[in-house]
Amino acid sequence: MSFFKVCLLSNLSKEKPIKFNIDDIDILFVLDFQTEKVWAFDNNCNHADKPLEKGKWNPEKAEITCPFHKAVFSISENGAVKAPPACIPLNVYKTEIKIENAEKFVYVQLD
Ligand code: FES
C-alpha cells in the first residue's frame, strides 16, 4: 500500500474530472462539490473497456456517466453501479491532502 503524489489541490476542478497517470494507471480526479475532499477513480469503464474521461460528471451526486453506453457509477458509494449496462463497481481510490511548503498537494493510495 503506497501513497503517490498527484498534483497541487488547486489544479483540480469541481466541474470536470482530470486524468493523471499514476504508476501506470489512468485515474480521474475531481474535487467534491461542497468539501475539500478529492474523488479518485479509474478512467476505465468496465462494461466495454472504454475511457470515462469524457463522461458527464454530476457534482451534486458525485456520479459519472459513461459517454459510450450511459452506465452510471456513484463515486461517493465506492463506485457502485447506478445504471446499466455496467454491472461491476468502478475502482475508487483513497486520497489525502498534505500541506508542504504552505501548499496543498493531493496524494492517492494504490494497493
Ligand atoms: S463502455 Fe461504459 S457503459 Fe459501455
Atom of ligand 1 nearest to the CA of 48: 1
Q: What is the pLDDT of residues 37-93, one digit of tens each?
A: 999 999 999 999 999 999 999 999 999 999 999 999 999 999 999 999 999 999 999
Residue 1 has pLDDT above 80, yes or no: no
User: What integer pLDDT is reported at residue 111 of this predicted model?
Assistant: 82
Distance from Cα 103 to the centre of ligand 1, integer Å: 37
Q: Which residues contact 34 (CB under 8 A, 6 or more apart)?
A: none
Model pTM above 0.75: yes
Q: Which domain holds residue 65?
A: 2-110
Distance from Cα 47 to the centre of ligand 1, integer Å: 5
CA dist 11 and 73 (Å) reads 24
| pLDDT (average), residues 8-24 | 96
The 10 Å Cβ neighbour count of residue 95 is 17
* Number of domains within the chain: 1
CA dist 105 and 4 (Å) reads 10
CATH number, domain containing residue 71: 2.102.10.10
Residue 23 near residue 107, CB atoms below 8 Å? no
